[in-house]
Structure 1
Amino acid sequence: MVGDNEKLQEQVDAILTEQVRLKSIIMSEREELAYQRGRTSELEKQYESKREQDAPQNEPDKPEERKPTYALVVSSETMGKQEGASLIKKSIHPRDLGLRDATIKPGREGVMITTTSKEGSAKIETHLQEKTKDLQIKRPKENRYPIKVTGIDEEEEAGTIVQTIIEQNNLPCTTRDIEVKKTWKGRQGTTAILALNKEGHQALNNRSHLYIGWSRCRVFDHFFLPRCTKCAEHGHNAIDCEAPIRCVKCGKRGHKRDECRKDPHCHACDLDGREQSRDHEMMSWDCPVYRYKIEQERKRIITRLS
């Protein structure tokens, strides 16, 4: 009986030993399988990455460059802007002059007529002079590059700022090439808006600072793009707008910004249609559409500097 028990115990021990060995083999195989799976996954990622690098890259669509425009300012001593625009439309049609891209809209000094054709602009001017007697037509002043200079010492005389800038910064231009448009005093000294012709722009050569008297003054571009706080669109001001009210914060109609409780969403970016972030207000300085249009205006001015 004792012998049988010993044999049975030996068999049980053998079975347990074999079980432990098999379990060890299984665990080892599992570890190997997990390693191989991880290795396969890593190789697949490397393969996909290499394939993407080798594949021809489709460049994103570049915005179409805006052509230079030629403008006429039409005003009247007896008519308002809307009446003047109506008279122009009755007197002339772009189709009759072979123009495809002529536009008309209210401006600061009257009705602004623009086209990308220099010859077309001349045709419009001649036609209006022949057919209308109550309208005054003029071309905008020469294009100049606008900059803002900040931090000027308040004791600097506005009448000598240009001469000081030229002499103190060794600029290869004359006082005819830089014009002071406006100055005002603030907490950080005097700010001046300057307008540069071609020679003045080349002389400054995109400087970020100018030395004026005892001050090192910062220089910024100063381009203006009208943005309407009534309809949340670009190209005009609220005073000239007849469109329904649209919130400049959320882009929805029917309420003003100070009544809005919604998240920011840019209506100007919606109108533009390109893929870009819209989670900002229309009046944000960081709006991609606003920044793009400012850059286009900068390029337009540069190409037409005289």
Structure 2
Amino acid sequence: MKDGSLLIGCASKDDNARFKKIAQDKLSDEYEIKEVKGILPRVKIVGLTQNLEETELSELFEYVVKTNGDLFNLDSVCRVIKVYPTKKNNKVFQAILEIDRNTYENLIKADFLLVGYDYCKIYDAHEIKRCFKCSEYNHSA
């Protein structure tokens, strides 16, 4: 990395723990080993007819899991980041959800989600900062 540090990714938590132990055993005390938490993927659900912030979100998640049981499993992680109306119609809402990797893959393949009587389209919600001045990434100006 820019500051001379090294970033290493492992395939699983077990591999991560094994690598960390080996690095601590082999390297001197001059080196600092930190574990960086990963970012959960996000999806955008478009086509909701009611504002989800007005309802209890935990109840909503349970209902969505019951309705779309094949897309979620018992270990699914889901957190509502933001709910807001669409630009074209302020009576139609969209939600940004942060979910675990397996659920993300299932939802992207399914392409839709049933929320109550709403048939909602699912999109990948990636946000990449790009500079308006130099067109480089990870900064805005």
- Shorter-chain TM-score: which interval? 0.5 to 0.7
Q: Which residue in the other structure is 1:269 paired with?
A: none
Cα 1:168–1:226 shift into 2, 3 Å? same
TM-score normalised per structure 2: 0.64
Pick from 82, 89, 94: which aligns with 1:191? 94
Cα 1:139–1:154 shift into 2, 3 Å? same
Unaligned runs of 5+ in 2: 10-18
Q: Which residue in the other structure is 1:174 paired with?
A: 74
Which amino acid counterpart does residue 139 of structure 1 have in structure 2? V
Contact 1:181–1:194, Cα closer than 8 Å, also in 2 = yes
TM-score normalised per structure 1: 0.33
Is it true that 1:162 corresponds to 2:65 in the alignment? no
Is it true that 1:145 corresponds to 2:41 in the alignment? yes
Which amino acid counterpart does residue 182 of structure 1 have in structure 2? K
Contact 1:177–1:199, Cα closer than 8 Å, also in 2 = no
1:191 Cα deviation from its structure 2 partner: 1.2
1:146 Cα deviation from its structure 2 partner: 1.1
Q: Provide the C-alpha distance between the structure 1 equivalents of 2:111 and 2:95, rounded to a whole number of angstroms.
A: 15
Cα 1:221–1:237 shift into 2, 3 Å? same
Greater helix content: 1
Instruction: Tell me the SS of whatever aligns to 1:103.
Output: coil
Relative contact order, higher structure (CA 8 A, sep 6+): 2
Q: Which structure has the larger Rg?
A: 1
Is it true that 1:217 corresponds to 2:117 in the alignment? no
Cα 1:115–1:219 shift into 2, 3 Å? farther
Q: Which residue in the other structure is 1:228 paired with?
A: 131
Q: Provide the C-alpha distance between the structure 1 equivalents of 2:120 and 2:42, rounded to a whole number of angstroms.
A: 16
Which amino acid counterpart does residue 227 of structure 1 have in structure 2? R
Greater strand content: 2
Instruction: Tell me the SS of whatever aligns to 1:233.
Output: coil
1:17-28 map, 5 Å: none
Unaligned runs of 5+ in 1: 1-101, 105-112, 130-136, 239-306
Contact 1:162–1:175, Cα closer than 8 Å, also in 2 = no
Cα 1:204–1:114 shift into 2, 3 Å? farther
Across the aligned residues of Structure 1 and Structure 2, the Cα RMSD in angstroms comes to 3.3
Q: Provide the C-alpha distance between the structure 2 equivalents of 1:116 and 1:127, rounded to a whole number of angstroms.
A: 13
Contact 1:149–1:192, Cα closer than 8 Å, also in 2 = yes
How many residues align? The count is 119
